[in-house]
Amino acid sequence: MSHCSSSSSPSHRPTTTTTLLNVATGARFDVDLSDLFSTHHLHLGSSADGLLVLRDKATNAIRLLNPLTRALVEFPPITDVEALEVPPAAYSITFRANFNLEVGSTKVHVPNPPPIKGAGIDDATSPPTLVLCLRKKLAHVVVAKPGVDAHWVSVHHGEQQVDLLTALGRILFQSLLSFKGRCYFTTPRGDVMTLDLGPMTTDRWGWSAKKKPRMVYLRREMALADDRVKAMSYLVRSHDERTMLMVRYSFSHRGGLNTTGDGNPVKTFISKGAPSRMEVFKMDIDGRGRLIPLQGIGSNNAVFVGDTQSIMLSTVKFPKIAANTVYMNYLWQRVRLFGTYRFEDGKTTPPRDLRRYKEKAKNLGFSPCACHLELDDYLICHVQHPDQFHNILFVD
């Protein structure tokens, strides 16, 4: 697949079209959104059920865009975020100075540009709620309903207690996925959480019982308990949208990875000198989020994992993609020194080095694009750093 959209060379005239690729069907569409992109910033990788997240450059207002119909839904400015309570750390002089907190203030200070990375739509409210992840040092999940909410609300930690993060009013999460009308999160070690969006409840004396919106655990027993093991857990929707999977990559230089909780041996491989493990679980939503271990992704499937989003493809529709394989995102390929893991034989492949394409493009006078890349190259960048390549958008 090739698509070239930008060039500074006279022989490579820039085009204003953007290619949309439906990862479920393989359908492609070229659309001209240049007028919107001139006044809005597109938060690539933060699509919500096929809708694109735009931010007005002048007002910071958030808008959801249907790229095919050009319909827009309005939301408040993302710089206007309120928490449900004053973070406990605000009463410490040291924390106030280091984390931009104020005594008595529930305002969340969002930098400009905001670190939006991940989006979902939750149908538990009317109208549905847009959920955004603010990452980097913020670690907040914020929500708003169009035409109803005057500002964004930071989700309360709820059932999650993570010492310093909780004291700062923040949440520990790895990935976000909206699935069958609800939003789900994982922690790095494999806890699965969802949102309780309300309404606010009160006890018989009239006191608010629980702050909402808040995080609630859906399932915890499959999370890694050994602190010696480092892990990253990602949620992904199957390409037919029938099931939700959790893919977890873990490694340890200090042991604790070679057996399961019941003492049974597990299959491991070596990455960057450390025993490592790749696991896949099917989530049984109807069974209160029970996680069912699987032997792989499937003979006709492949998964690209990333913090922004994870994508499953049918290798029947995209035959150049390796089947029953997990593709690590570009960042973790460089950090852990492997590119893919094949469940069929437990083997890994070397990491992809895309820097040579950037050097070649720089010498020729135009930006890197799919003239030099394959589909899997695009995807390993898109799931982690989508802003590197903005001429093609992946929608589900």
Which pLDDT does position 362 carry in this prediction? 46
Phi and psi torsions of 56, nearest 5°: -65, 125
Side chain identity at 253, as an amino acid letter? Answer: H
Of 199, 210, 292, nearest to 244 by C-alpha is 292
Contact predicate 246/190, CB 8 Å = yes
**Do the beta carbons of residue 275 and residue 256 sit within 8 Å?**
no
What DSSP assignment string belongs to 1-66? -------SSTTS----EEEEEETTT--EEEEE-HHHHHHEEE-TT--BTTBEEEEETTT-EEEEE-
Strands (E), 198-243: 201-202, 208-210, 214-219, 230-237
Q: Is the peptide bond before 213 cis (omega within 30 degrees of 0)?
A: yes
Question: What is the predicted pLDDT for the residue at 349?
Answer: 95
User: How many other CB atoms are found less than 10 A from the CB of residue 317?
Assistant: 15
Interatomic CA distance for residues 309 and 306, integer angstroms: 5
- Cα–Cα nearest to 176, from 214, 145, 135, 205: 135
Q: In the prediction, which pLDDT does 227 show?
A: 81
The pLDDT value given to residue 19: 82
Q: What pLDDT, on the 0 to 100 scale, is given for residue 348?
A: 96
Euclidean distance between CA atoms 10 and 100, whole angstroms: 48
DSSP labels, 274-324: EEEEEEEEEEEGGGTTEEEEESSS-TTEEEE--SS--EEEETTTSTTSPTT
Backbone φ and ψ for 221, nearest 5 degrees, come out as: -70, -15
Q: Which pLDDT score, from 0 to 100, does residue 80 have?
A: 96
State the pLDDT at residue 394: 63
Cα–Cα nearest to 159, from 85, 225, 222, 210 = 210
Token pair for 55: 């931010």
> Any idea where the domains of the chain sit in the sequence?
79-220, 224-351
Structure confidence at residue 139 (pLDDT):
92
pLDDT digits (tens, 9 = 90+) for 320-345: 999 999 999 988 998 999 999 999 99
Helix (H, G, I), strand (E, B) or coil at 61: strand
pLDDT of residue 366: 34
Query: Which residue stretches of the chain have pLDDT < 50?
Result: 1-14, 360-371
DSSP 8-state symbol, 75: E
